């Protein structure tokens, strides 16, 4: 697929997820064959005020990790959104600015940002128009189906985005009210595809290579985006890419491979954040890697009470030996 003049193959993406799609995990996903990676969402106002945390969210090593980068921003004030888009594009060697109009988190929507913009289309249009005008690189928009079942506005917002210069859209097939419950409504994403000429990326309930193939066929989308299914499972990208390309299914990662990846991920996180910050941040990731393994709850509890990298690595190594001998 092409976003503006940027060729992106394969059209399989990791969804931007706060606390998940950070720099360490993006490095791993890049190794699985994903060409375009999205940063975690960055507060436009925070960036303009020089918040160090917002700059940390944008860090990446493009030189050694060949591929494209999209910086996602959120906010409810058009002036700040436009300024952040312009300055982030200037300060970082990124390829795309993505506007978050899909985040359902209460602290985001309470300020009128994220998916709250799906019930304020006039403000959403103003933001898109100003960001596109200010950004020297292509602008995309990530959205949901709407605010709730009575306010399904994805098609209307998609048309607004296209009219105001957005280069592509990503649509999560749930409303804000659903959060991540219930089934994703692929029919609404299909309606968006039929309503616009720009590329549309489908997001929601893609948990396997077969799901990915079905989404492409049913929705007729240009790309797919994986969210929760990638938590503790970066291999899903390699599996999907291979299946779409050849129809061949790759054998799922073994428990031993998952434990090795957890250690690799931990080391990358410590290198980036430092041990004090990284070890607590990695607890949820390690829990995802361990999901479904025998006696995993005991190991998770031990990891959750450990603050040193080497001790976590020792716990995982001992657990790996236990699994291998059982």
Q: What is the CATH number of the domain that holds 155?
A: 3.20.20.70
239 and 285, same domain (yes or no): no
pLDDT at 58: 85
185 and 264, same domain (yes or no): no
Domain that holds residue 287: 255-325
- 221 catalytic, yes or no? no
195 and 50, same domain (yes or no): yes
Instruction: Single out the residue in 218, 246, 274 at which a domain terminates.
Output: 246
237 and 272, same domain (yes or no): no
Gap between the terminal Cα atoms of the chain? 47
Alpha carbon distance 96, 46 (integer Å): 19
18 and 108, same domain (yes or no): yes
According to DSSP, residue 220 is labeled -
Q: Which residues line the annotated binding site for FMN? A: 16-18, 72, 142, 172, 227-228
pLDDT at 77: 98
58 and 132, same domain (yes or no): yes
Among residues 199, 189, 231, the alpha carbon closest in space to that of 17 is found at 231
173 and 294, same domain (yes or no): no
Work out how many domains the chain is built from and give that number. Answer: 2
306 and 186, same domain (yes or no): no
Structure-block tokens of residue 115: 């998916």
- 103, 141, 167, 169: the active-site residue: 103
Q: What is the CATH number of the domain that holds 262?
A: 1.10.1200.80
Q: pLDDT by residue for the chain (326 residues), tens digit each? A: 999 999 999 999 999 999 999 999 999 999 999 999 999 999 999 999 987 777 788 877 665 657 899 999 999 999 999 999 999 999 998 999 999 999 999 999 999 999 999 999 999 999 999 999 999 999 999 999 999 999 999 999 999 999 999 999 999 999 999 999 999 999 999 999 999 999 999 999 999 999 999 999 999 999 999 999 999 999 999 999 999 999 999 999 999 999 999 999 999 999 999 999 999 999 999 999 999 999 999 999 999 999 999 999 999 999 999 999 87
82 and 205, same domain (yes or no): yes
CA dihedral 233, 238, 240, 243 (to 10 degrees): -140
220 and 294, same domain (yes or no): no
Pairing, β 6-7 against β 2-3: antiparallel
Alpha carbon distance 323, 326 (integer Å): 5
Q: What is the pTM of this model?
A: 0.95
194 and 140, same domain (yes or no): yes
85 and 153, same domain (yes or no): yes
In sign, the C-alpha dihedral spanning 113, 114, 116, 119 is positive
Letter string b/e over residues 223-246, b meaning 16 or more CB atoms within 10 A of that residue's CB: bbbbbbbbbbbbbbbbbbbbbbee
Instruction: Single out the residue in 215, 246, 277 at which a domain terminates.
Output: 246
Instruction: Single out the residue in 246, 268, 300 at which a domain terminates.
Output: 246
How many CA atoms are closer than 13 Å to the CA of 299, on its beta-carbon side?
Answer: 26
């Amino acid at each position: 697929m092409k976003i503006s003049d940027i060729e992106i193959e394969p059209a399989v993406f990791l969804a931007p997820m706060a606390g998940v799609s950070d720099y360490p995990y993006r490095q791993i996903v890049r190794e699985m064959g994903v060409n375009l990676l999205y940063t975690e969402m960055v507060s436009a106002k925070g960036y303009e005020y020089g918040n160090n945390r917002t700059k940390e969210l944008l860090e990446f090593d493009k030189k050694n990790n060949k591929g494209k980068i999209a910086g996602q921003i959120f906010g409810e004030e058009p002036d700040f959104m436009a300024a952040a888009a312009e300055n982030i594009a200037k300060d970082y060697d990124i390829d795309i600015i993505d506007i978050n109009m899909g985040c359902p988190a209460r602290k985001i929507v309470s300020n009128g940002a994220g998916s709250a913009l799906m019930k304020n289309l006039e403000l959403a249009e103003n933001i898109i128009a100003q960001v596109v005008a200010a950004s020297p690189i292509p602008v995309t928009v990530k959205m949901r189906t709407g605010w709730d079942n009575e306010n399904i506005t994805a098609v209307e917002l998609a048309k607004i985005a296209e009219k105001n210069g957005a280069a592509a859209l990503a649509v999560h097939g749930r409303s804000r009210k659903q959060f991540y419950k219930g089934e994703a409504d692929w029919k609404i994403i299909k309606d968006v595809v039929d309503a616009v000429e720009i590329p549309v990326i489908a997001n929601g309930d893609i948990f396997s290579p077969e799901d990915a193939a079905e989404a492409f066929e049913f929705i007729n989308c240009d790309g797919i985006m994986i969210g929760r299914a990638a938590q503790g499972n970066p291999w899903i990208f390699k599996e999907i890419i291979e299946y779409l390309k050849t129809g061949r299914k790759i054998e799922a990662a073994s428990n031993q491979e998952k434990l090795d990846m957890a250690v690799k991920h931990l080391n990358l996180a410590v290198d980036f954040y430092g041990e004090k910050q990284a070890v607590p941040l990695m607890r949820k990731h390690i829990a995802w890697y361990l999901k479904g393994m025998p006696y995993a709850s005991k190991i998770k509890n031990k990891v959750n009470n450990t603050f040193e990298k080497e001790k976590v690595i020792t716990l995982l190594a001992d657990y790996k030996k236990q699994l291998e001998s059982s």
